[in-house]
Homo-oligomer: A and B are copies of this chain.
Amino acid sequence: MLSKAQIKYIQSLQHKKNRQKSSQYIAEGDKIVQELLQAGMPVKAIYATHDWLEQHTPLPGSLPADAVVEVDASVLKQLSSLTTPNRAMALLDMPSGADQLPAAGTVALALEAIQDPGNMGTLIRIADWFGIPQIICSPDCVDVYNPKTIQATMGSIARVRIAEHDIKELLQQTKLPSYAATLHGKNIAGFPMMKEGIILIGNEGRGLTEEVIALATHRITIPRIGGAESLNAAVAAGIICGRLLI
């Protein structure tokens, strides 16, 4: 049973300012909860239906018994900010100390002002697919702990470190080469596979800022053959990873 205060607290985590105050967030969805447990993420509590618990017990990891709370589907619905129904939900601590700069020999994705929670989740999933261990988000990106983002990651949030950092500063501080996705760069097909560096992806509508483009080592472009004005930011990131990382 959840108390009224607990329900209110969980609901409060739908808002960024409350997540930041408490350093906790919610992950919703049958599968993602399992993935987070399996990956050893700092899960503090599970709220799930009788059915889900029956199907998934014993749970991976070492949760104390009182951290697993059976709730009715109606209560889960009350807790959820998503329109699709879920049978399980997890309460997690945000990871701390993840904001070091990308290390030599590694690839990172740096995102400037990504606004759509679904795009952000898809970008995290792309990073996870291509084995990119770290994403750096500019402070004006949508919060990665937004419930919609967490769901769109399909569990990849468990495997990719997320740091918040000014992207201009990042480029001034790093010694790694950087690749800025723009509409007026060099054809991506002409680049060799990258061994290390930072792939820069900008806002859905405006792209990267001029300052960031100017600081980047390379300006890269996916050549346009047809008539579309632009590509979705996550699709563009996927295409770039598909050219530079495999």
Contacts and interface: CB of A to CB of B under 8 A. Distances in A.
Interface of A: 118, 122, 125-132, 154-156, 159, 187-189, 222-232, 234-236, 238-243, 245-246
Given A155-B229, A232-B122, A242 B243 contact: yes
Contacts of A228: 125-126, 128-129, 154-156, 159
Given A122-B232, A131-B227, A222-B242, 16 more contacts: A122-B235, A125-B231, A129-B224, A129-B226, A132-B226, A154-B229, A159-B226, A159-B227, A188-B246, A232-B234, A235-B235, A235-B238, A239-B241, A239-B242, A240-B242, A243-B243
A226 B189 contact: no
Contact of A223 (B189, B229, B246): B246
Contacts of A129: 222, 224-226, 228, 230-231
24 contacts: A118-B118, A122-B232, A122-B235, A125-B232, A126-B235, A127-B226, A128-B226, A129-B230, A130-B225, A131-B224, A154-B229, A155-B228, A155-B229, A156-B227, A159-B227, A189-B246, A231-B238, A232-B234, A232-B238, A236-B238, A238-B239, A239-B241, A240-B242, A242-B243
A74 B223 CA distance: 41
- Top 10 closest A-B pairs, CB basis? A131-B225, A239-B242, A131-B226, A128-B228, A235-B238, A129-B228, A159-B227, A128-B226, A189-B246, A238-B239
Contacts of A234: 232, 235
Nearest to A128: B228
A41 to B, nearest CB: 13
Nearest to A240: B242
A246 B239 CA distance: 11
Contacts of A230: 129, 154
B225 A246 contact: yes
A111 to B, nearest CB: 15
A165 to B, nearest CB: 21
